[in-house]
Structure 1
Amino acid sequence: LASSETTVSQRTECQCKMEAKERRNCGYPGITAEQCRKGCCFRSHPAGVPWCFYHRQEGVSPSSHCECKSFLT
């Protein structure tokens, strides 16, 4: 993996962690997980909320901050 791809992947994983009710639709009907993940977050659960959604914006408040683990070896 290129370092820029890794950075985006790690940032997105952390920024995709949010309550389902916070999700803002980023896709369109029939979008695949692979297509969605090129710029948005994809989680196929729960029903009734967007599965393809915008990631959390920068400047997350400390109370909703999540710890990201590096998967680089």
Structure 2
Amino acid sequence: MIQEIDGMDTAKFGGKATGLARMAAAGLPVPPAFVIGTDAYRVFRETGDLPPDLLAQVDRAMRVLESRTS
């Protein structure tokens, strides 16, 4: 979830996600979200395939979002 990432690690999470994480840490309202890290993109760029565990992680993150947002 966005509140759980390092808001300073733009290399791992990208600028938009870290910006949202910093806003959430400052107490500003941000929409519920999860982040797919830049490592997944690098794997996709190098191999043309998604990382093997990515879809399972996205599925878990979607269930968490659904439970938090009803």
Q: Which has the higher contact order (CA 8 A, sep 6+)?
A: 1
The structure in which a higher percent of residues are helix is 2
- The answer, yes or no, to whether TM exceeds 0.5 is no
TM-score interval, smaller chain: under 0.3
